[in-house]
Chain A
Amino acid sequence: MGKVNVATGHLQGCFGCHVAILDLHEDLIGLLESIEILRSPINDVKEIPEVQLGILDGSVTNTENRETAKKFREKADKILAFGTCACFGGIHGLRNLHPLNDVLKRAYTDTESTLDGKIPASKDIPEMLPHVHSLNQTIKVDYYLPGCPPTPTMIKKALTDILNNREPEIPTKNLCHECVREHHEMYIPKREFITENVTTLMELENIDPKKCFLEQGILCMGPATREGCDSRCVKGNTPCRGCMGPTPDALEQGAKMINALANILPAGGLMFMEDVVGVGYRYALPVSIYPHVKEKKTL
């Protein structure tokens, strides 16, 4: 059997997902026996060749991203949305909370350190789209692999599945399922909130490394987040921020977390209210039910 031809491409994002491929280390050598990467941002080939698999990371935020995505779709038999930004729009999806013009002004003219700033306008640079989109809002996607970035184990497994003509299986349960922290009070039916004392996220040294974050009054997105990331953050004594996105039965992550938190923590709610989207919708706003700020129109 010949090698499977692959092209990878980068849309809008931090490039971390491509770096994560390199994190496969020795395993990458094994994988390269069955795949041939004809094009990637690393080998800097401009043209997108015909391939069996196109891997795209990043979200779609400007005309260039959109064009690249479309070219990939034309040239690749299958497309893998690789990483959280491609799957859900990712963290920069938060810009959907502001009209594009406000965003541009903030970035180029209103910043405190900017003097005589100007919003760049040239035919040579791609134009920003009004909203940030996930990959499947732009082109048809065949496979998904969320994660910010996906772990090397997940990447290896997904690629192996695809090479064997299987849809990569991603877990369906929430993070609490794989989380090893001790969990007690959540299993007791009670009207009272779990705790009245809320630890702010800054006081990491006070966090009991063995106990469920929520049970210590710390907002953890684990309950509304798909498992599969090996609970890296939680193991590192940092609450889940939700990068794996919602579980398949939830229509969106933020709303679901709100409903749950209202019965768990008084301050969980409060923290949400201070930065409602930053917490609940940090990674998946573009694929949420109401994905961007309401366009103001007058009747």
Chain B
Amino acid sequence: MNIGLFISESEKAISNIIDLQSLASDYKNLASVKIFNNLCSSTSIRAVQEEIKTKKLKGLVLAGESPLYYKKIRNGDLLLKTIHEAGINSNMVSFVNLKEQVAMPHRSDPSGATKKAKVLLDVGIEKLRFTHDVDTIGVTPKKSVAIIGTTIGGLFAANRLLERGYKVHFIDNVSLRDLGDYKTQAMPTLAYIKNHPEVTFHTETPTEIYGYAGNFRISLGDYSLRAGALIVAIENDLTYTEALYPLIRIERDDSGFFKPLISDTSTVETSNQGIFVIPYVKDTPLSYIIALSDSASTLADSLLSKKEIEHELFVSEVDEEVCGGCGTCIKTCIFHAAELDPIKKLSSTNIKRCVGCGNCVSACPTGARDQISAPTKYLISAIKILAQYQPSNNIKILYLACEGCGYPSLDYAGKMGVEYPTSVLPLSVRCAGRIDTQLILEAFREGFQGVVICKCKDDHCLNIVGNIDLDRRANLFRAVLKSRGITPERLRIFGVSECEGGSCVGSAVEFLDYLRNIGGKA
């Protein structure tokens, strides 16, 4: 397979610390190695496209900024789309975070940073050896939108959508919320909506929401609705937010209210495609609420007016040669996505429900289940590679960071300028629920002195129970370590939220001290 390695200097932020030239020269065996000043500039994007086509690349390592950065900024999004269109499957792009997790936090140790960058690059390349293309399906969008919340924002969004010919389903505990100060201004809109033949009102609380952008299924007690998109406009109703959170799993702010993915640039989009939020902002003028509802309805419209929406199936897959139908994964999956195939009597994945969290992969006692985005063999191999990093005092820790909070918080620490030793070696996993005892044992066998699992805290797990299932397994991990004469204190679990980078890094540093003090004992 032709693999390319594209490195970003990130406007010198990376190249000032890490010796990218010497690093790049280690990868001459790859089909293409290129260094860009800024991967996301229009010139770079064109060059990337060119290079993929001429060198017929099928796998790509993007080394530079955090993957979260590419996913959050417009040009990053464009870069990823371009790569995809040039012929590289999304699962064959691997990210190596040289900026937030190497250059920034290790700026006082350039040579350590360069050595660490090397093992992280090796891990990035390794991933491409074990992953395969992710399948896609096309969904024909439903011309209807479910608006959760009969609030002022919800009503104005409905107004716009009805004008554009969409059906609107209102879902809320009450048929109409108190519109407070805006009652009078909303009168005409309300009258229009109430009399519109394409509007329905539902006061049942949703019990389940699943599917994709373009086609969601919303269960309301005894019956269900289909909607192409969801607009959540429940203002500061915390009780309702709590009830909805497990069903839609979109970002929440510190007060617990739903919020957009990035508040300053995309005001209504969430990380869940097809679900939009009209966020609650205290004392907002009506004009701002209207602007938000306009954005939400416009984005819903541009999504649903497509002929077909493509979805990548980052799910869990079953090796039918090995699955014996024990049912462990079925019992485990909170999304009801692992099902018994009634004829084969083996487990199968319901692709409409599976979010790819990997909890079933950990739980599966045979190894028949695996995660398309990060197969077990890749994670094991990544641990072996990371273990090759030799810090001067020989004490290093494996830092397993969940994509929900652990990884972003490590990024955050880097951005905030927190420095820590290079001997904290990060490996990103989809969810804390994906952490399997096998990975921990592998880390100790390979010579890590300690393992940190950095997961979402309390009820912030994007996969609802991944962090709880990790806790259920944790005591058993510890018991196994103990049986091998490894003190269980060599495994630490931190629950953090995204912006607690400083504290999680602080704990890791303190952990390094602890390991140094106990030395090779226990």
Q: With A177-B325, A263-B472, A293-B484 given, is the CB distance from A188 to B477 under 8 Å?
A: no
Q: Which residue of A lies closest to B320 (CB)?
A: A173
Q: In the complex, are the beta carbons of B484 and A263 less than 8 A apart?
A: no
Mask of B444-475 contacts with A, CB within 8 angstroms, 1/0: 11000000000000000000010001001101
- The interface residues of chain A lying within 8 Å CB-to-CB of B325 are 176-177, 183
- The interface residues of chain A lying within 8 Å CB-to-CB of B473 are 258-259, 262
- The interface residues of chain A lying within 8 Å CB-to-CB of B345 are 177
Cβ of A55 < 8 Å from any Cβ of B? no
Q: In the complex, are the beta carbons of A276 and B441 less than 8 A apart?
A: no
Main secondary structure of the interface of A (DSSP, over half): loop
Shortest distance from the beta carbon of B285 to any chain A beta carbon, whole Å: 44
Q: Which residue of B lies closest to A178 (CB)?
A: B324
Q: In the complex, are the beta carbons of A296 and B367 less than 8 A apart?
A: no
- The interface residues of chain B lying within 8 Å CB-to-CB of A289 are 438, 441-442, 445
Q: In the complex, are the beta carbons of A255 and B480 less than 8 A apart?
A: yes
Q: In the complex, are the beta carbons of B322 and A172 less than 8 A apart?
A: yes
Q: Which residue of B lies closest to A183 (CB)?
A: B327
Shortest distance from the beta carbon of B82 to any chain A beta carbon, whole Å: 36
Q: In the complex, are the beta carbons of B366 and A249 less than 8 A apart?
A: yes
Q: In the complex, are the beta carbons of A188 and B330 less than 8 A apart?
A: yes
Mask of A28-67 contacts with B, CB within 8 angstroms, 1/0: 0000000000000000000000000000000000000000
Cβ of B340 < 8 Å from any Cβ of A? yes
Partner of A261, one of B366, B476, B519: B476
B491-522: which have CB < 8 Å to A? 519-522
Shortest distance from the beta carbon of A282 to any chain B beta carbon, whole Å: 12
Q: In the complex, are the beta carbons of A174 and B338 less than 8 A apart?
A: no
Q: With A186-B326, A189-B338, A296-B520 given, is the CB distance from A254 to B480 under 8 Å?
A: yes
Q: With A176-B325, A258-B477, A294-B486 given, is the CB distance from A187 to B331 under 8 Å?
A: yes
- The interface residues of chain A lying within 8 Å CB-to-CB of B476 are 258, 261-262, 269, 272-273, 276
Partner of B324, one of A176, A194, A257, A277: A176
Cβ of B380 < 8 Å from any Cβ of A? yes
Cβ of A175 < 8 Å from any Cβ of B? yes
Shortest distance from the beta carbon of B469 to any chain A beta carbon, whole Å: 6
Q: In the complex, are the beta carbons of A297 and B520 less than 8 A apart?
A: yes
Among the listed stretches A115-123, A144-152, A197-205, A221-229, which one makes contact with chain B, having 4 or more residues with CB under 8 Å of it? A221-229
Measured in the bound complex, the distance between the Cα atoms of B325 and A260 in whole Å is 13
- The interface residues of chain B lying within 8 Å CB-to-CB of A280 are 480
- The interface residues of chain A lying within 8 Å CB-to-CB of B331 are 185-190, 194, 263-264
Partner of B469, one of A187, A249, A262, A299: A262
Among the listed stretches B3-11, B14-22, B271-279, B357-365, which one makes contact with chain A, having 4 or more residues with CB under 8 Å of it? B357-365
Q: In the complex, are the beta carbons of A174 and B480 less than 8 A apart?
A: no
Cβ of A160 < 8 Å from any Cβ of B? no
Q: In the complex, are the beta carbons of B334 and A191 less than 8 A apart?
A: yes
Cβ of A238 < 8 Å from any Cβ of B? no
- The interface residues of chain A lying within 8 Å CB-to-CB of B253 are none
Q: In the complex, are the beta carbons of B366 and A250 less than 8 A apart?
A: yes
Q: In the complex, are the beta carbons of B327 and A173 less than 8 A apart?
A: no
Cβ of A247 < 8 Å from any Cβ of B? yes
Partner of A258, one of B319, B324, B364, B480: B480
Shortest distance from the beta carbon of A235 to any chain B beta carbon, whole Å: 16
- The interface residues of chain A lying within 8 Å CB-to-CB of B444 are 290, 294
Of the candidates A188, A259, A260, A261, the one having the most CB atoms from chain B within 10 angstroms of its own CB is A259
Measured in the bound complex, the distance between the Cα atoms of B334 and A223 in whole Å is 20
- The interface residues of chain B lying within 8 Å CB-to-CB of A252 are 438, 441
Cβ of B332 < 8 Å from any Cβ of A? yes
Measured in the bound complex, the distance between the Cα atoms of B333 and A277 in whole Å is 27
Q: In the complex, are the beta carbons of B365 and A250 less than 8 A apart?
A: yes
- The interface residues of chain B lying within 8 Å CB-to-CB of A277 are 480, 483
- The interface residues of chain B lying within 8 Å CB-to-CB of A109 are none
Q: In the complex, are the beta carbons of B445 and A290 less than 8 A apart?
A: yes
Cβ of B336 < 8 Å from any Cβ of A? yes
Mask of B425-444 contacts with A, CB within 8 angstroms, 1/0: 00000000000111001101
Cβ of A288 < 8 Å from any Cβ of B? yes
Cβ of A97 < 8 Å from any Cβ of B? yes
Q: Could you list 20 A-B pairs, sorted by A, with CB under 8 Å?
A: A173-B323, A173-B324, A173-B366, A174-B366, A176-B324, A186-B327, A188-B331, A223-B324, A247-B368, A251-B438, A254-B437, A256-B438, A259-B362, A259-B436, A260-B363, A263-B363, A273-B475, A289-B438, A289-B442, A297-B520
Known: A247-B368, A255-B438, A273-B479. 17 other contacts (CB 8 A): A173-B323, A188-B330, A189-B330, A223-B324, A223-B328, A227-B324, A249-B366, A249-B367, A249-B368, A254-B480, A256-B436, A258-B480, A269-B472, A276-B476, A276-B479, A289-B445, A296-B521
